[in-house]
Amino acid sequence: MNKKLIMLLIAAIAAIFVTTGLQAGTEVDDTFPLQTPGYESRKKGEPQFKPVTFTHKKHAEDYGITCGECHHDENGEPLELTMGDDVQPCYECHNIFEKTKENRRDIMVHENAMHGNCRECHKEFNIAAGDPKGRKGPAPTSCTQCHEKA
């Protein structure tokens, strides 16, 4: 083999390593619908609402929220992460999809965990932005701002 060919081969192999290296870890879309499969099989029937579109990257970057404000471990302790790290989806732990009178305040109910995370932060943010009740402001808090009837 001539030198040029060997160089090309080395370059090709290096390229393969670089691409596979980039694929390690978890890819997460910049924006995705929150549409948890658990709701489809609940007794009460399918989701009441269309999926909420969630701007994951914007939240983590533009809004300056750390990963650990949303992602935590099995004890609810914030995780220290960087983009590309693996995380467990919320619904693997918050895996109760039947909201009843008895469990309506249980944080392990998926809906409560999502509202507890998303809405509570939005409220606080709007309060800091000047609305005393936190209902109005840049961050959505009313049902229809996040949900559209299915």
State the residues that interact with ligand HEC by CB under 6 A.
26, 28, 34-36, 39, 47-49, 52, 54-56, 58-60, 63, 65, 67, 69-76, 81-83, 85, 87-94, 107, 111, 113-119, 121-122, 125, 138-143, 145-147
Q: Is 127 left (phi over 0), alpha (psi -120 to 50) or beta?
A: alpha
The residue to which tokens 């997460």 are assigned: 28
CB closer to ligand HEC, 9 vs 78: 78
All residues at 6 or more sequence positions from 15 whose CB lies less than 8 Å from its CB, including other chains: none
CB closer to ligand HEC, 69 vs 104: 69
* Residue 128 Cβ vs ligand HEC, minimum distance, rounded to whole Å: 9
The letter for the amino acid at 70 is C
Question: How far is CA 42 from its chain centroid?
Answer: 22
* Residue 18 Cβ vs ligand HEC, minimum distance, rounded to whole Å: 21
Q: How many other CB atoms are there within 10 angstroms of residue 39's CB atom?
A: 19
* Residue 3 Cβ vs ligand HEC, minimum distance, rounded to whole Å: 43
CB closer to ligand HEC, 13 vs 78: 78
